[in-house]
């Protein structure tokens, strides 16, 4: 079970604290078990900071605490704080990565499910699209996604398998596998009834909870070859 530790402290020497944390990262490279750290400053009290540290489990957090580098850095951190920091230990019982869920809804509900009205909810009006299959470097507008999905759905009866997703900051990277049956004209080739498959990677960038920009990389050549659009 994922474990989170919340460290609450006050300090007027945050720059020194920041350098101390950089030193700890350098000293514990290859040894620490922490996987993610976020530090926030209280908007109503500029000397009040909260750090949220994530570990794969409580046991691994305890291993991290036992590192000599951690003990030394902790002592130096306390000296920089106005009073003793407080610690809250939490077992994570629910973890919703909202941008990942939104990205998944595109594949499941829009692309496969055909709910094109949902595009207006999930994508920004000025969405910018980058697609290796198009001559333009980018196209702008959520209508681009609607047109692309409609075109693919007309040409193929298809499904997506989400192979993996990684979220960092405001971006979600999805690695997927697509499989479909050629049921209408595609690249000038009439319906063949053939099955085709390809793999791809899509990066969605988010703004205010909506998809603002997308980059698409996929094996279109494989699909064209499988439906007879090109001969190899």
Pick the closest to residue 204 from 102, 134, 112, 135 (CA basis): 102
Pick the closest to residue 204 from 113, 114, 111, 84 (CA basis): 111
pLDDT at residue 30, as a whole number: 87
Q: Which long-range contacts (CB under 8 A, 24 or more apart) does 166-171 make?
A: 167/97, 167/99, 167/100, 170/99, 170/205, 170/206, 170/207, 171/99, 171/203, 171/204, 171/205, 171/206
Q: Are strands 171-182 and 86-91 parallel, antiparallel or unpaired?
A: unpaired
Pick the closest to residue 224 from 192, 100, 81 (CA basis): 192
Residues 118 and 105: beta-carbon distance below 8 Å: yes
Per-residue pLDDT in tens (0 to 9) along the chain, 232 residues: 789 999 999 999 999 989 988 988 888 888 889 988 999 999 999 999 999 999 999 999 999 888 888 888 888 989 999 999 999 999 988 777 889 999 999 999 999 999 999 999 999 999 999 988 877 767 889 999 999 999 999 999 999 999 999 998 889 999 999 999 999 998 888 999 999 999 999 999 999 889 999 999 999 999 999 988 777 6
What end-to-end distance do the CA atoms of the chain give, in Å? 50
Q: How far is Cα 75 from Cα 65, in angstroms, rounded to an integer?
A: 12
pLDDT at residue 232, as a whole number: 60
Pick the closest to residue 145 from 110, 112, 176 (CA basis): 110
Q: How far is Cα 60 from Cα 27, in angstroms, rounded to an integer?
A: 18
Domains and CATH numbers, the chain: 3-91 (3.30.70.100), 98-226 (3.10.450.50)
């Amino acid at each position: 079970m994922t474990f989170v530790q919340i460290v609450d402290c006050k300090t007027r020497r945050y720059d020194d604290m920041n350098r101390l944390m950089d030193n700890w990262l350098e000293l514990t490279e290859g040894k620490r078990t922490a996987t993610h750290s976020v530090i926030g400053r209280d908007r109503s009290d500029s000397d009040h900071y909260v750090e949220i540290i994530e570990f794969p489990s409580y046991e691994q957090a305890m291993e991290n605490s036992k590192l000599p580098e951690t003990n030394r850095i902790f002592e130096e951190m306390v000296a920089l704080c106005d009073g003793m920091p407080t610690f809250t230990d939490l077992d994570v019982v629910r973890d919703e990565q909202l941008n990942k869920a939104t990205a998944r809804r595109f594949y499941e509900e829009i692309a496969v499910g055909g709910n094109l009205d949902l595009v207006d909810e999930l994508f920004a009006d000025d969405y910018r699209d980058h697609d290796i299959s198009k001559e333009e470097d980018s196209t702008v507008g959520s209508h681009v996604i609607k047109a692309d999905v409609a075109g693919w759905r007309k040409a193929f009866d298809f499904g997506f398998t989400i192979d993996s997703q990684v979220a960092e900051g405001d971006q979600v990277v999805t690695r997927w596998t697509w499989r479909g049956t050629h049921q209408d004209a595609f690249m000038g080739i009439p319906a063949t009834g053939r099955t085709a498959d390809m793999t791809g990677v899509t990066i969605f960038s988010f703004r205010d909870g909506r998809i603002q920009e997308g980059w698409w990389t996929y094996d279109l050549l494989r699909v064209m070859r499988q439906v007879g659009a090109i001969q190899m």
